[in-house]
Each structure stands twice: as structure tokens, then as C-alpha cells.
Amino acid sequence: MSVIRVSAANLRRIQTANYSYFPEPYPHPDRVMDAHDIVYIVAGGWEICEESETFLLTPGDAVFLTAGRHHFGTGGCLPGTRTMWLHVYPEKDDRYFDRKPGGNVAGDSLLIPPVIRTGKNLRIHSLFEGIIHNFWSSAEINRIRARALVTELFIELASCAGASAIPAENAVDYVINLIEKNPSKVYAIDTLATMAGVNRRTLTAHFRKRTKRSIRQFQIELKVRMAASVFDNAPDTPVRVVAGMFGFFDEFHFSRTFKQVTGVAPVHYKARR
């Protein structure tokens, strides 16, 4: 499988970045560019070639077309296709390989395949939006932020590509990330399984194998650890306030749970600080 090695050592220079909407079928431009062309399919679909490889792209897919290589469309995209795209100048250490050298990281570089099936990775969608928004900002600091976000996008693409070979493990990554980013929410297992695109049994089995905990236990322990951190840094914070911060029904439910995990009630934990 071919792969692109991209340097993560420096902030990237962005040639341009934008959205596209095609109400009617339209072919991808036939060209050789001095910049990497990175396209994310929001809706619809497109068939794009690079040299002798053909990529059939559907919503949630990203394609990394390497600078200096010939890419073109084989036909028009589907009607109503929407994309987000970036043209990013290459660094001197960027390289295209016909075969993957192994691993996803090489020194200060990342290994990214031409097509990344991002699935339900909302972070990648958000990064494309953030890069475009900040690139067109009139504030210089935001344009610098756009360059930093490109590096973060490359990291996410490399990470997503590395996980995509094992769908169940990718689902566990997605669920852990979702729980950690939203500690105020309490997720039902069926809800998480649906969001991750796997069945309940597969998710729970792989989650326990990875974390040595059930999904419920993982959520509770995370909430309690974060609550304890609030008490450590702001011991005057009322128990009921912290309970609300982390999605507990009331302070009594929170106190029972906190004691089950730490062995001490919140009021006594605070007194130790």
C-alpha cells in the first residue's frame, strides 16, 4: 500500500483552503501541483485518480494527493457533492512511497495513506473547518493558527489510518475520546455503540479488553477523578456544584459514587486538602 511521509517538524504554509459544492456532476481538475491537495468529502461522492491509482471517495473520506504527482478525475462527481479542501506546500522531507515502510510515525514525520476512511471522526471534520475559517481570517494570529491546525490534521489522519485496519479498536478509540471530551454527559452503552458504528457486544468486549474496565466503570472513574481534581484545586467549591459539573443526578448520588471509587466521601476528601 502506498503512503506519504509528511514532516511534522514545522508549521505548514497554506496555499489556499476552501469549500466546494457541485450541484451537477463535475470532474476533479486534471493537473500536477506544487502543493499537496487534501480533499475531504462532506456529501456525495467522487472518483479521483493519482498516477495509476484510482480512489472511490464517499462521505467521511479524505484523499491526500501528493505534490508533484499527476492527479485527475475519471468522471463527474455525484450531484450535490460537497467538499472541504486544502492546498498545502510540501516540506523538503515529504516523500511518497509505493509501499508503507511500517508504523505510522517516522522520526519527526507521519505516514499517511492516499485515502483515509475517517468514518465518524468528527475531529477531522472540525479540523478542516477550522483551517478554512482561520486561513481566511483578517487576523494574522488566526492565519498562524490555521497553519498549526494543519499539523494537527496530519496527526489525526495518521492516527485514523493506523486504527482503521481494526474497526472494533477504532470504535473503542472513538468512544474513549467521546467520553473524555464530554465528562458532563452520561452515555448509555447502546447509544455509544450506535455512534461508533458497531454492535453492543463487540464494543463492550473490546472496551474491556483495552481498558480492563466496563464502559460504565470507565465513565464513573473518569468523572470522580476529574471531580477530585476540582476539590484539589478549588476546595471551597460546593459538592452540589461539582456534582452538576459531571452529570450526576444530585449531590447525594455523587457523594455515594465518589466514596465507592475513592473510599472517602467528598466532604471528608475536601477536609483533607
Average pLDDT over residues 128-157: 96
CATH 2.60.120.280 domain residues, the chain: 3-163
CATH 1.10.10.60 domain residues, the chain: 166-273
The reported pLDDT for the residue numbered 42 is 95
Nearest to 68 by CA among 37, 113, 42, 100: 37
Percent of the chain topping pLDDT 70: 92
Confidence check: pLDDT of 267 > 50: yes
Average pLDDT over residues 122-142: 96
Domain 3-163, CATH 1.50.10.10 — does that match?
no
Mean pLDDT over the full length of the chain: 89
Nearest to 215 by CA among 231, 239, 240, 198: 198
Indicate the pTM of the whole model: 0.60
Residue 61 to residues 10, 57, 66, 67, 251, Cα–Cα distance (Å): 26, 6, 16, 19, 44
The reported pLDDT for the residue numbered 199 is 81
- The CATH code of domain 166-273 reads 1.10.10.60
The reported pLDDT for the residue numbered 166 is 44
Nearest to 44 by CA among 70, 69, 19: 19
Confidence check: pLDDT of 102 > 70: no
